[in-house]
Structures are given as C-alpha cells and as structure tokens.
Structure 1
Amino acid sequence: MFAQLKQFISGAQILFVAFGALVLVPLLTGLNPAMALLGAGVGTLMFQFLTRREVPIFLGSSFAFIGPIIFSMQTWGQGATQFGLFFAGFMYFVVAGLIRWRGMGFIHKLLPPVVIGPVIMVIGLSVAVAASGMAMGQGGGKQLVPYATSLLLAAISLATTIVVSVFAGGMLRLVPILSGVVVGYIAACFLGVVNFEQIINAPWFAMPHFVSPEVNWAAALFMLPVAIAPCIEHIGGVMALGKVTGTDYTQSPGLHRTLSGDGAGVCFAGLIGGPPITTYAEVTGALMITRNFNPVIMTYAAVLAVILAFFGKFNAVLTSIPLPVMGGIMVLLFGTIASIGLKTLIDAKVNLMAPRNLVIVSVVLTCGIGGLMVQVGNFSLIGVGLVSILAMVLNLVLPAEVPEDPQAEI
C-alpha cells in the first residue's frame, strides 16, 4: 500500500512538472485546455499499451504545432484544424514503418540536420509577431488589455520564467513556464485584469466541450509535414531517456513501437480537439532527479490528467489567464524553439559556407518566416508544411558536396 502511494505521489509530481507546458499550448492556440489534459492522459495510456508499458514517458502538448494551429484556426476553423491534427498523427506511423523497414540510416539520409534545423527555426520564428502582439495585449486586431498594463504583465511573466530557468535549482528549475504563468496571473489579479465572473459561474464538474472534426484535405495536407519535426524530436527524446535510465528503448520495445504509440495519441488528441502530444524533456529531467524509472508513475500521471479534465472551475481558471501573461511566456518560448533549430545545425557541424547547405537553409528561412504560400485551386501550402517539403526536395536534388582533393593543387 505504501509503495503504491509513493508511486502515486511520483505520478502527481510528473504531471506537475509537465503541467505548465501542457496547458500553455491550448491557451495560446484557442483550443480547450480540458481537451489538452484529456488528450495527454488518454494519449499516454495508449502509448503505454502499444509499448507494453516499458518506457517511462508522459506525452504532453507539442510546441511544434502552435504556429500551424493558429494559422489553421484562422484559415479553416477549429473543425478542419482538428481533422488536420488527426491526419498529422499518421506521419508517425509512416516514420515508424520506414524505421522498421530500412532502419535509422534511411531517416538520417532523408532528414539530415540541414533539413531539420531550419524547419525547427521556422516553427519558432513564424509566429514571433503573434507573441509580440499578445505581450502588448492585442488579439484579433483589437487592444484587449491596456497597453501599459500589458507590457508590465508580459515583463513580469517573462522575467519570472527566465529567473527560474536560469537560477532555480532542484524540481523548481523544471517548471519555469508554470512559475511564470502563476506569478504573472497573481500580478494580473492585483492589476484588476482577471475576469473572476467566469470562474464563479463555472460548475465544479463539467464534461469537456467536444467539437466534431470536419473533413478538410487542405488542412490535412498543411498539417501532415509539420509532424516531421516532432517525429525526429520523439526519436531524440527516447534516446535521451535511454541514456538516463540505462535502457536501450530503441531495441525494446523499439522506435517503431514508441513512434506508433505517440502517433496514436496525436490522432486521438486531434479527434477530441486537443493539441498533438509529444515527449517532454522536463519529464526526463524529473526522472534524473528522482531516479524513479518505473513506468507505472506515468500511468498515475495520465489518470490524474484525465480526472482534471472534468473539473469545470479548474479549467475556468486556466481560460481566465490574461493575454499579456501568455504573451510574455511566448516571447521566450518561440525564441527557444528557434534556438533548438540553430543548435541542431551547430551540433551537426553543418558547413554553411558550402553552397548546397546555404541554399537549403536560406530558402527555408525566407519562405517560412516570410509567409510564402503555394496555392493550386482550393489547395494551399504555407509555413512549416511548405518549407518541410522544400527542404527535403532540395536535399535530395542538390548534389552532395565533393571534398576537395589536397593533391589537386600540387
């Protein structure tokens, strides 16, 4: 009994570590936070079923989809966006099948760092304007919160997140986003910009609001390539976790199983209206500190996430967080995503003086950040989806760099 209680507490701790990032994505994109909790909880349980509960992973909302979701919601609406996110989950099965069939070498050839790096940078930088607008209290072309108040709140949430991530120690260092949101929210309460009426009127228990997906192939084809970067992120996350626990999960249960489990969770989250889910580095960090590698703690974390999805007042508190508080977090978050893309290029020692590499990176960044759109009839491709395809095509078409022969000049 005591051992089960200990595992339950460890599971609650995992959910606490993942919570800030988990609910941040729906709050930024206009999706339902309750559905994010439900999608993460059920998605993690599906992952555990497909991986025979061998891997201590909790799946939470993916930051890689924030920009594409915002664009898709504005362009096609929520129902079509959900269908697109459901369709994006099939990319995981495609990558899983390729790994099962050809091994990791094929994936590295198709998606080398010179392709993945700039695409990740576009994921972060393509919505930089939205982050700045939210930090200034602007949304939908309107000033929703007074300008001076907005900047103050954004600065408080941003400063808190930075201080915690840089100077805090122990478990606190794993929750910089949650810390920034909490401190920013408290400041917003004192400044009188929190609407408490919706919290008071919300029921204690409520069924999460379900929006039916709408078949829209333009949204589906837009979202499908976006999943490439999270697939690669998943592989890296599983390998990093293996180094922490001393177990090679690429062999058992195998990357094809972990990717399939993640993909099943993404499909489920898309169907119910939650954001796609992915592995969390914060959770791996928590495992490093606690040294508790029992996958059952992820089961407890997943069940708790599902339970929280049905607390009406809790979700009302989440949706009452003012826009500038979220904006302050976004300023750091999107820059961090772009930095990960840059780190991918640096770690792989990609030579940007080589014309081939320079062409790929330049075209991806300019087209992605500039908002280039390719439209044929009712079908359109823009943003991460477009540049993912561009990067892969350029990588396959352009000739590989031929190393210079040191004897040539002699």
Structure 2
Amino acid sequence: MDMNLSAKKKLILGIQHVLAMFGATVLVPALTGLSTSITLFCAGLGTLLFHLVTKRKVPVFLGSSFAFMGGIIAVIGDSRLGDPDFIDKLSAVKGALIVAGLIYVLFSILIKLVGYEKVNKLLPPIVTGPVIIVIGLRLSSTAINSAFYYNGAFSLKAVFVTVVVLAVVIAISVFARGIYNLMPILFAIIAGYLVCIPMGFLDFTPVQQAHFFSFMDKDIIAQILALPTFKADAILAIAPIALVTLIEHVGDITTNSAVVGKNFMIEPGIHRTILGDGLATALAGFLGGPANTTYGENTGVLAVTKVYDPSVIRVAAVFAMLLGILGKFGGLISSIPGPVSGGISIVLYGMIASVGVRILINNRLNFGNSRNLMIASIIVVLGIGCDSIPVTSTVTISGLALAAVVGMILAAVLPEGHDSVLPREE
C-alpha cells in the first residue's frame, strides 16, 4: 500500500511495530544478564543505522538476536550485574560481538565483489518459499505457549483472552476502513489488556521497579563505559555464530521482499542489508547490548497492515530508544500479558508462513514434479523438526540454517525437469 501517511498515522503504526518486537527483544537480555534498557536503545539505534546504510529503502526492524545467546551465556556464565567479575566478562562479550559484526562487513564486501547474481542462483524460489514457511512455523510454538498457557499451565482464561485478541485483529483487518484498518494490532492489544483486568493477568511490577530515566542508573552507565576486550576464548565462542545468522539474514530479507513486493536483494542490495546488520551488531556490542538481527515479527506487521513505508519503522526505532531511556514506559509495555502477545503472534507468524506459500504460487512451481516435492519436503521437515545442532560446546546451527543450506545444495545438484514450472494459462 503506497500512501502519503500523516504524522499521526506513522506514530500509530510505529507503536504497533514496537509492541510486536518488544517481547522477543527484552527476552534476550533477561536470559543473558545484559541490560534491558541498553538492549532497547541499541535495537532502535541499530535500526536507524541499518536504514542509513540501506538508503532508507528497506522496512526492517533490528532486534536482539536469539542465535547469539548460547555464546554470550558461555562467556558470562552465571555472573550478573553486581558480581565482581561481571564487567570483565561483559567487556569480553563486547569485543566478541564487534568481531561478529565485522564478519558481516567482510561478507558484505565479498558479495559486492562477486555480484548478487551468483548469490541469487543459490536461492531459487523452490528454496526461498519453503524457507520462509519454516521461518513462520518455527515461531508458532512460542505463540501457542504464550496464547494458551499462563504461569506454565494450560488456562481456559488465557484461551479466552487469545480468542478476543484474534477476533479483534480479524474484524479490523477484514471489515474496518480508513485509518482504523491500519491499527488491528494496537486495537487488539488494548482489547486484550482490558479483558485481562478482571482475570487477574495484569502484573504492574515491571512498571513499579523501573527507573524513570534508565540511563541515570550508575550500573547502566558502567556497562556502557566498559571498554571492549578481545579475548580469544570469547571470540571463538561468539563470533562464529555470525556465519550461521548470515544465512538467516538472507532468508529474512527474502521474506521482507516478498511481503513488500520489491526485490531488496537487488536494490539497495543484499550487500547493503548485511553491512547494515553487521554495523548495528558491532555498535550494540560496543555499547553493551546483544547482537542485532532482522525481526520477522515486524515483517508480519507489514503483512497485516499492508503499509510498507520504511519511515514507519524509523518511528518505531525512535520509540525503542525512548523505551530504553524512559524506564517506566518500557515497564508498561513489558506488563502486557502473555495471552495478549500470544494472540497477536499467532497472526504475525502465520502471515510470514503464508508469504512463503505465495512465493511458490507466484512462481508457478509444479508440486507434481518429484524434484520440487523432495526439496520442499526436506526443507520444511528439517527446518521445523530440528531445533539446533551443536557444532561445538558454544556454537550451534539452527534448524533454519541447516534447512536453508541443505535446500541450496539439493537445488544445485538435482537437475530441473521440463515440468518443474507450470505453464501459464492462455
């Protein structure tokens, strides 16, 4: 949808993108011991840097990467803020993440030199379609767990909240007109929040515990000012993960391109998106945040709202930075109950998977052809069935990366038949 959006509409749409990315972004620092405030600030700042590098053309939001968690935890261990060794370990993580970001930069230069065409040959539609389906479906269990469970147990109340949220999203997306059609996620979250009040699902502890201005906290300042150290063991634990996330990055940009209807692999170029992601990761590492990565949740929001204006993402990036600085606002968003975010996630992740199906249909791939059937089947089962494969004690290959690599190999090795693509109807 191409439109001249007013500042009010951009503000509303930007808030929706923040709500979509918030839960996953703050989960990484919660599990690794890093600062939530710094993480949110780095997500916003990294997104703005990404948009600068990609000539402000790609509507992508960068949030904290789950792929690097194992490596970060391996370096930090059980050490937490206040422990005597925490800052030293954080400095080692900073150095390793900067190296990981530089790996992205090197690959960006390499792709620029060899040309996009050679990269594109590795990613035909019979690979990208199923990989995008996997990206959406791999997230589905997370959505269901949030939607149907509360405090670790199945809850009919949680199911009811989820149904209300889904009903609002569907009703507004299908029947609403004008500006209201752009706000299904925001309205659904408000409705879900209100329904949660009498059910006792609301917990305002995050709001009460948060500082008004996070960056006035001396502990956060200490983490930002800690200088990176480049220790071999930390670099070996964290930096090689970038080789895996590079593959996931290509899949995410392919998905975003399919949703928007523009080939961002060509313009501004996959080399620029990789460069932007790498610089954002290095910057986040320098400031004390986790690695950044392109977020499928926000691509799902694009698919729901059909508003692809990159400036909306930049509005969301500024909001994320404000949430990092203004602790009370961040606490308010983190108080959104799981069944509400879970209901939203069911829609977002399903939309991503549907984009993969659309790629297969638009390219008229014939699934009566054994080659197509084999490649797609193996990608889907490996991608969904395999969580991860440990390469070393700290480096793992995700099922998504494994599925993408196997799919590329099969597509390159297996000969294309004359019937691999359906003929156009006269």
Paired residue for 2:294?
277
Partners of 1:18 and 1:112 lie apart in 2 by: 30
Partners of 1:228 and 1:61 lie apart in 2 by: 14
Q: 1:175 to 1:74 in 2, by over 3 A?
A: farther
Partners of 1:194 and 1:272 lie apart in 2 by: 28
Deviation digits for residues 115-152 of structure 1 (CA, Å, limit 9, x no counterpart): 1111111122223233222222256xx32xx7121111
Q: 1:322 to 1:362 in 2, by over 3 A?
A: same
* 1:231 partner amino acid: I
Match of 2:417 among 381, 384, 401: 401
Q: CA deviation at 1:314?
A: 0.8
Q: CA deviation at 1:7?
A: 8.4
Aligned pairs (5 A) from 1:171-186 = 171-186=179-194
Paired residue for 1:43?
46
Match of 2:141 among 129, 137, 141: 129
Contact 2:281–2:290 at 8 Å: present in 1 too?
A: no
- Is 1:306 matched up with 2:306? no
Partners of 2:353 and 2:262 lie apart in 1 by: 20
Q: CA deviation at 1:220?
A: 4.3
Q: CA deviation at 1:361?
A: 0.6
* 2:290 partner amino acid: G
Q: 1:159 to 1:172 in 2, by over 3 A?
A: same
Contact 1:57–1:298 at 8 Å: present in 2 too?
A: no
SS at match of 2:397: strand
* 1:230 partner amino acid: D
Q: TM-score, normalised by structure 1?
A: 0.73
Q: CA deviation at 1:362?
A: 0.8
Partners of 1:33 and 1:169 lie apart in 2 by: 37
Q: 1:29 to 1:99 in 2, by over 3 A?
A: same
Q: TM-score, normalised by structure 2?
A: 0.71
Contact 2:68–2:291 at 8 Å: present in 1 too?
A: no
* 1:261 partner amino acid: G
Q: CA deviation at 1:388?
A: 1.1
Q: CA deviation at 1:222?
A: 4.4
Paired residue for 1:195?
203
- Note the residue ranges of structure 2 that are not aligned, 5 or more in a row: 78-92, 229-233, 421-426
* 2:294 partner amino acid: I
Partners of 1:319 and 1:298 lie apart in 2 by: 20
Q: CA deviation at 1:79?
A: 6.9
- Is 1:167 matched up with 2:175? yes
Deviation digits for residues 237-296 of structure 1 (CA, Å, limit 9, x no counterpart): 786399xxxxxx956x666445533543355457613752368573995477xxxx9x7x
SS at match of 2:411: helix
Deviation digits for residues 154-186 of structure 1 (CA, Å, limit 9, x no counterpart): 112222222222222233323322322222112
- Is 1:364 matched up with 2:383? no
Contact 1:26–1:275 at 8 Å: present in 2 too?
A: no
Partners of 1:130 and 1:299 lie apart in 2 by: 27
Deviation digits for residues 72-115 of structure 1 (CA, Å, limit 9, x no counterpart): 75897497899998788678657754663354432331101111
- Is 1:109 matched up with 2:117? no
Contact 2:13–2:183 at 8 Å: present in 1 too?
A: no
Partners of 1:76 and 1:368 lie apart in 2 by: 24
Partners of 1:99 and 1:239 lie apart in 2 by: 23
Partners of 2:241 and 2:274 lie apart in 1 by: 23
Paired residue for 1:55?
56
Q: CA deviation at 1:312?
A: 1.0
Aligned pairs (5 A) from 1:385-400 = 385-400=401-416
Q: Cα RMSD between the aligned structures?
A: 4.2
Partners of 1:223 and 1:236 lie apart in 2 by: 20
Partners of 1:388 and 1:87 lie apart in 2 by: 24
Q: CA deviation at 1:363?
A: 0.7
Partners of 1:362 and 1:226 lie apart in 2 by: 19
Deviation digits for residues 344-367 of structure 1 (CA, Å, limit 9, x no counterpart): 111111112212111111111112
- Is 1:233 matched up with 2:241? no
Q: 1:168 to 1:9 in 2, by over 3 A?
A: closer
Partners of 1:342 and 1:317 lie apart in 2 by: 37
- Is 1:154 matched up with 2:162? yes
- Note the residue ranges of structure 1 that are not aligned, 5 or more in a row: 1-5, 243-248, 405-410
| Range that drifts further, 309-318 or 177-186 | 177-186
Partners of 2:375 and 2:172 lie apart in 1 by: 36
Partners of 2:373 and 2:207 lie apart in 1 by: 52
Partners of 2:400 and 2:40 lie apart in 1 by: 25
Partners of 1:41 and 1:165 lie apart in 2 by: 27
Q: 1:198 to 1:41 in 2, by over 3 A?
A: closer
Identity %: 29
Deviation digits for residues 333-382 of structure 1 (CA, Å, limit 9, x no counterpart): 22222111111111111112212111111111112222265445535434
- Is 1:20 matched up with 2:40? no
Partners of 1:74 and 1:188 lie apart in 2 by: 34
Partners of 2:111 and 2:28 lie apart in 1 by: 32
Contact 1:33–1:274 at 8 Å: present in 2 too?
A: no
Contact 2:149–2:339 at 8 Å: present in 1 too?
A: yes
Q: CA deviation at 1:27?
A: 5.8
